Amino acid sequence: MSGSTALELDALIFGGGAAGLWLLADLRHRGFSALLIESKALGAGQTIASQGILHAGVKYSLGGSAADSAKAVSEAAEVWRGCLAGQGEPDLRSVRVLSPCCYLWRTDSIMSRLGFLGAKTLLRTPVETVGPQDRPAILGQCPGQVLRVAEPVIDVSSFLGALAEKCGSRLICVKDPCDITYHIRGPGEVEQVDVREPAGDRVIGLRPTFVVLTAGEGNEMLRRAFGLSAPAMQRRALHMVMVRGRLPMLFGHCVDGDKTRVTITSATDSESRTVWHLGGEIAERGIDMTEADVIAHAKRELSAVLPGLDLGGTQWAAYRIDRAEGRTAGGRRPDGPVWMKEGNVISAWPTKLVLAPRLSEVICSARGAPGVKSSDAIATDFPRPAVAQPPWEVSREWHG
């Protein structure tokens, strides 16, 4: 097929993270003809850096009110649970669930006590008090109650792999931006996108009814390519810390006032070591710290929130990531997914991993019925994007 013969599509998606892949699978299930273009690896950047928690609203209940944010994530988490059980679309039974729940605990500070009480009172998901004899050993010396919250934690790589397998030939990798040519009639009015094969001169013309941008930070560059210059995105910087060694598996949050002082998820790396992925206030406050300083800060915080923790023989690393979000007044965190339609271009940001299905539902419902006959024989000669490796497998510098 040459560039003079265009392939008609209902939807052309740019960006193969959680939002783009979920949307592609959803569109296919509804009978839409859709194709997704990824320039790197599936999930590279924001998605693979996610801690994999299907939030049930813990972070949004700490301020003392059940905000719209808590409602949005709680409803989306129910969709995830159905899909993970094979009772919804996409069928995610092959995704590895690292833990069916997260623990919630506090320190002895007054602010921590208040935040803990707010979360316990206002959470919209089942909360269970864990008796002293049933606590994980690592939480044995923590003061006050320990709660178990129905927040599953998934292996993000297996989630990406499951959707990649499901979507098959609808995924293509185009690494060089020079291999894509955009034809627009005006701002946000996409007529055709030409894609050149990486190993030759053949060009495939793609003529979509609508285009969806789910590329996270990449949306900014794509919007410019489609003639859309108005600011639509904001970034929330994070400085994530990882620690590996002889550690127990732990998934949960230590609360402090209206913040999660630290959020811990666990994984096993390629050399069978336990890796703790640290988020929450450590990642947010660490943006102004050097790598050495944020690691030192994380060590102090873990010792404070987990009495009796032995960090002997552990190794540490840190990396920076920007969370791309839809723009809001005052730069506040969006309550839910953000999307906007300009011409036949939809720019979309799910805000959090758990909100990917909610974003997809909104976009699919707004599109009506499919207009192009679906086919699985799309662009089969293009390479398929690989799944991104988790940050602890690619980090080059670990410190004792």
Question: pLDDT tens across 314-331, in order?
Answer: 999 999 999 999 999 999
Per-residue pLDDT at 371: 82
Distances (CA, A) of 132 to 107, 142, 143, 145: 16, 10, 10, 8
Query: Is the per-residue pLDDT at 3 higher than 50?
Result: no
Dump pLDDT digits (tens) for 357-379: 999 999 999 888 888 766 555 55
Per-residue pLDDT, 288: 97
Backbone dihedral angles phi then psi of residue 56, each to the nearest 5 degrees: -105, 5
- DSSP classification of residue 52: -
Angle at 215 between CA 209 and CA 218, to 5 degrees: 115
pLDDT band at 57 (very low <50, low <70, confident <90, very high): low
Helix (H) or strand (E) holding 185: strand 180-186
The rounded distance, in Å, linking the Cα atoms of 385 and 174 is 8
The pTM assigned to this predicted structure is: 0.94
For residues 181-210, average pLDDT? 92
CB count in 10 Å sphere of residue 111: 15
Distance CA(271)–CA(269), nearest Å, equals 5
**Would you say 237 and 318 are in contact if contact means Cβ atoms under 8 Å apart?**
no
**Beta pairing class for 252-256 and 102-106:** parallel
Count of C-beta atoms within a 10 Å radius of residue 182: 14
DSSP letters, 296-318, are: HHHHHHHHHHSTT---TT-EEEE
User: Would you say 346 and 340 are in contact if contact means Cβ atoms under 8 Å apart?
Assistant: yes
The answer to whether residues 143 and 86 touch, using CB atoms and an 8 Å cutoff, is: no
Query: Is the pLDDT reported for residue 247 higher than 90?
Result: yes
d(C-alpha 339, C-alpha 232), whole Å: 9
Backbone angles phi, psi at 10, to 5 degrees: -70, -45
User: Which of 279, 275, 288, 267 is CA-nearest to residue 316?
Assistant: 275
Sequence letter at residue 201 = D
